[in-house]
Amino acid sequence: NAGVTQTPKFRVLKTGQSMTLLCAQDMNHEYMYWYRQDPGMGLRLIHYSVGEGTTAKGEVPDGYNVSRLKKQNFLLGLESAAPSQTSVYFCASQGTYYGYTFGSGTRLTVV
């Protein structure tokens, strides 16, 4: 089925550990986004990409890095996880028209 796939769905990290979240879309969309969702805060943009090989910072980029080596994939990395990064992470993609297509999310807990 066409859409946005996020892996993993759940993860528990210890403070200081690193990990990479993978987002894959099969709709040939140019734009891809990483958001985090925290209670009472809505969704906040971490990083985004307007095409293969490009990335840019969003509202809350500190502590995260991203890469878009292939058009269909957008990776979000945490180099040294902190408890403040406990959140639900959503990836979204967007074509040249219309709204976002979201993945089902990754629930990350940093202890």
Partner 1 sequence: SQQGEEDPQALSIQEGENATMNCSYKTSINNLQWYRQNSGRGLVHLILIRSNEREKHSGRLRVTLDTSKKSSSLLITASRAADTASYFCATDGGTGFQKLVFGTGTRLLVSP
CB-nearer residue toward partner 1: 85 or 106: 106
Q: How far is the CB of 96 from partner 1 (least distance, A)?
A: 8
Kindly report the backbone phi and psi dihedral angles of residue 53, in degrees, each rounded to the nearest multiple of 5, phi listed first. 85, 0
Six-digit token string for 106:
């990754």
| 79 Ramachandran zone, left/alpha/beta (phi>0; psi -120 to 50) | alpha
Q: Which residues bind partner 1 (CB under 8 A)?
A: 4, 31, 33, 35, 40-45, 48, 50, 58-59, 90, 92, 94, 96-105
Q: How far is the CB of 56 from partner 1 (least distance, A)?
A: 9
Kindly report the backbone phi and psi dihedral angles of residue 69, in degrees, each rounded to the nearest multiple of 5, phi listed first. -75, -30
CB-nearer residue toward partner 1: 14 or 99: 99
